[in-house]
Amino acid sequence: MSEKISGKKLELAVITGSVRQGRFGPVVAEWFAEQARQHGRFGVEVVDLADIPLPLDLPPLPPALQPDMERPADMAPLTRRLAAADAIVVVTPDYNRSFPASLKAAIDWHYTEWQAKPIGFVGYSGASGGLLAIEQLRQVFGELHAHTVRDMVSFPRYYELFAPDGTLIDPDGPNGAAKTMLDQLDWWGSVLHDARRDRPFGAV
């Protein structure tokens, strides 16, 4: 039995994708982070993209061709956290039937940091609960050789579901959905961690 499966916690990065003023994302991200802590199999770190400069003007060579590319110094904490993560959860709203530009910038500045890692999603919005953004993100992460787990957590009309203190008014359904997704991230995270350790991704 591998070290990971035998008990060592997986490193989980929870990314708050929205940087809009007055955003609700940090409330959702902190709720999910607490679910992950209670799950017991993860060391959890919340990464708020609003705290990280994400230039839209990318360098000439993409990170797929130059993985050790020079990035803005202020981006180094994000790069380190993504590289250290065994699993990643993206918290996203719908913006015009898609996902925020801040998320796309964070994704496009990196490449190997996503490879062979499981990605989960927590969505929130007024109507779809973030599902429109999530379906597009699945395609993007597939291009990066990441594995998106099937189940997700979704909050349609999120403003009716959370109390002013950031807790859920009726937590049973979302808590169950979070556990299901975390169980999948645990399984995939453990398997892919060991696979990356034993055979670097892309090695033949």
pTM of the model: 0.94
pLDDT range class, residue 200, cuts 50, 70, 90: confident
pLDDT range class, residue 3, cuts 50, 70, 90: very low
Write the pLDDT tens digit of every residue in 21-78. Answer: 999 999 999 999 999 999 999 999 999 999 999 999 998 999 999 988 999 999 999 9
Distance CA 65, CA 96 (A): 31
Q: What is the DSSP letter of 98?
A: B
Name the CATH architecture for the domain at 10-18+25-198.
Answer: 3-Layer(aba) Sandwich (3.40)
- Domains of the chain by residue range: 10-18+25-198
pLDDT range class, residue 8, cuts 50, 70, 90: confident
pLDDT range class, residue 7, cuts 50, 70, 90: low
Q: For the range 1-7, what are the long-range contacts, defined as Cβ-Cβ under 8 Å and sequence gap of 24 or more?
A: 2/190, 2/193, 2/194, 4/86, 4/189, 4/190, 4/193, 4/194, 5/190, 5/194
